[in-house]
């Protein structure tokens, strides 16, 4: 229309001076308006490569992600340590101190992580061993659990490493960045697959590999500078790396929990001030908001549990709970394992239940807790010594009930307590479970507020204390003064809430 109007004006009879001025002003106004809307239009700028390159959809399947990871090339860009690493680090920290008014506060930019490029026998060979043997093996642990499923359950080492070494264009996390120069790093990541090696290698072969990995890591200049205090080591299965743990006890361990009985970790090896608790990888599929809404009317079971009924240490409470609950109405207690049939049965049961029992296992934690969370089933936690993932960030009282062992074993107490729960409170907790589930779903690429992201946020919060102890250890005269190790663990006594 505008083109036709201008064409007719061009062939009209000459207008008066005032008419010409009026037409000129109107034309300028039209041009200015067009320019204004073009500038504001979101589609007007030329798309950049970053905009066009949308990230691939995230996958939470360990096997699918692993196949893709092993098929992709991985560049080796990390630089070796400079001749005087300590001096180089001091120069970097001084520059950051004067250049960034917030540093070294945890919120001062992303955490800088240097990823060691360890020999393939510690990294890629372990992942290939798992992939190549996964489908053809029927190995079971002594209690009947599939070995490869246990490895998946503790595969936090894979998810963290795969995200750290992915091309930056494919990464979504802003809380952590990989650096190629050691002097720029806040933290050093050791990508050794301690769980795969424990389960899939012969005992002596595994111990030999542990010793080799230990020597490789402790020979690094950055380790020797800090005695490992700024190094992150995934030790997520309570048996993994056990034969050499005493040599790396000052490092930051990524753990499933903190067993206080001494069965799994020796006194002084693990404590909250140093280490980080990470969730198990769920064994059931995620029940999202649509799923929770669709299953709402089908949740006819009051309390559900499926798993091993006889465990050691703190897990002995399971057999006592079975005796207490086996005859109660609307309660399902089943023996089961983590195989394919067990997964289907557990998933079906959790999606039909309001509450899911989460007692201690051999250790205070249990993978069942995270299965319940991603299933929209309110966890009932009975584990007096339990430490939870990311508790400096998340408030578990919004999604779970905490019951002391002594209360749970009182005849009839637990069932009465659950039946008295307010319906409004139950709906609130179910709604919160939908929101919280994202914090327990590992994925590729790792997603903001997922477990990988929260891991690095927790470690960033420890950074000042780590630097304090590194510098203090460098100046303290060992013969005359004791070196503080901050082993100030406080016993965790759970109260019923």
Buried residues in 237-272 as b, exposed as e (16+ CB within 10 A)? bbebbbbbbebbbbbbbbbbbbbbeeebbeeebbbb
Indicate the SS3 state at residue 38.
helix
Buried residues in 343-353 as b, exposed as e (16+ CB within 10 A)? beebbebbbbb
Q: CATH number for 289-441: choose from 3.40.50.2000, 3.40.50.1970, 1.10.3720.10, 3.40.50.970.
A: 3.40.50.2000
Q: pTM of the full predicted structure?
A: 0.80
Q: State the pLDDT at residue 315.
A: 56
As a whole number of Å, the CA-based R_g of the chain is 29
Q: State the pLDDT at residue 15.
A: 44
Return the DSSP state at 189. Answer: E
Domain with CATH 3.40.50.2000 in the chain: 289-441
Question: What residues pair up with 303 in beta bridges, in sequence order?
Answer: 331, 355
**Tokens linked to 207:** 């111990």
Q: Are 216 and 134 in contact (CB under 8 A)?
A: no
Termini Cα distance of the chain: 71
| Helix ranges, 62-184 (H) | 62-71, 85-99, 124-134, 147-153, 156-164
Buried residues in 465-493 as b, exposed as e (16+ CB within 10 A)? ebbebbeebeeeeeeeeeeeeeeeeeeee
CA-closest candidate to residue 89, choices 467, 472, 473, 483: 467
Q: State the pLDDT at residue 495.
A: 39
Predicted confidence (pLDDT) per residue in 457-481, tens digit: 999 999 999 999 999 998 877 665 5
Report, as ranges of residue numbers, the positions in the chain whose pLDDT lies below 70. Answer: 1-56, 93, 96-108, 135-145, 260-262, 311-315, 338-339, 478-497
Predicted confidence (pLDDT) per residue in 384-395, tens digit: 889 999 999 999
How many alpha carbons lie under 13 Å from residue 41 in its C-beta half-sphere? 11
Q: In Å, how far are 95, 152, 206, 276, 367 from 468, measured between CA atoms? A: 18, 36, 35, 18, 35
């Amino acid at each position: 229309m505008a083109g036709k109007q201008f064409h007719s004006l061009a062939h009209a009879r000459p207008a008066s001076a005032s008419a010409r001025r009026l037409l000129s002003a109107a034309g300028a106004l039209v041009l200015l308006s067009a320019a204004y809307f073009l500038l504001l239009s979101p589609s007007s700028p030329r798309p950049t490569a970053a905009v066009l390159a949308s990230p691939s959809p995230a996958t939470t399947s360990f096997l699918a992600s692993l196949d893709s990871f092993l098929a992709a090339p991985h560049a080796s860009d990390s630089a070796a340590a400079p001749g005087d690493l300590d001096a180089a680090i001091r120069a970097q920290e001084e520059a950051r101190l004067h250049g960034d008014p917030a540093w070294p506060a945890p919120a001062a930019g992303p955490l800088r992580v240097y990823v060691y490029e360890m020999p393939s026998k510690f990294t890629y060979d372990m992942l290939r061993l798992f992939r190549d043997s996964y489908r053809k093996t029927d190995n079971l642990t002594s209690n009947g659990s599939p070995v490869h499923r246990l490895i998946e359950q503790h595969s936090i080492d894979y998810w963290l490493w795969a995200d750290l070494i992915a091309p930056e264009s494919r990464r979504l996390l802003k809380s952590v960045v990989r650096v190629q120069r050691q002097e720029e790093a806040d933290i050093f990541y050791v990508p050794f697959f301690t769980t795969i090696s424990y389960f899939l290698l012969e005992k002596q072969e595994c111990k030999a590999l542990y010793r080799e990995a230990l020597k490789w890591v402790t020979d690094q200049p950055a380790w020797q500078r800090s005695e490992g205090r700024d190094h992150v080591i995934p030790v997520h299965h309570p048996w993994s790396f056990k034969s050499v743990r005493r040599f790396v006890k000052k490092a930051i361990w990524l753990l499933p929990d903190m067993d206080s009985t001494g069965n799994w970790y020796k006194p002084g090896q693990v404590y909250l001030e140093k280490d980080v608790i990470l969730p198990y990888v769920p064994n059931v599929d995620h029940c999202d908001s649509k799923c929770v809404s669709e299953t709402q009317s089908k949740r006819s079971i009051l309390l559900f549990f499926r798993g091993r009924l006889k465990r050691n240490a703190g897990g002995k409470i399971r057999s006592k709970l079975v005796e207490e609950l086996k005859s109660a109405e609307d309660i399902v207690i089943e023996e089961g394992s983590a195989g394919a049939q067990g997964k289907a049965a557990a998933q079906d049961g959790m999606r039909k239940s309001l509450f899911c029992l989460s007692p201690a296992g051999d250790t205070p934690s249990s993978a069942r807790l995270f299965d319940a969370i991603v299933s929209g089933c309110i966890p009932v936690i009975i584990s007096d010594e339990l430490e939870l993932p990311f508790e400096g960030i998340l408030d578990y009282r919004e999604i779970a009930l905490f019951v002391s062992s002594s209360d749970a074993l009182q005849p009839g107490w637990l069932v009465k307590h659950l039946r008295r729960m307010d319906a409004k409170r139950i709906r609130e907790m179910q709604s919160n479970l939908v929101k919280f589930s994202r914090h327990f779903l590992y994925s590729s690429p790792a997603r903001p507020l997922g477990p990988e992201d929260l891991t690095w946020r927790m470690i960033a919060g420890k950074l000042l204390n780590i630097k304090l102890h590194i510098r203090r250890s460098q100046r303290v005269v060992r013969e005359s003064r004791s070196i503080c190790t901050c082993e100030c663990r406080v016993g965790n006594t759970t109260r019923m809430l």
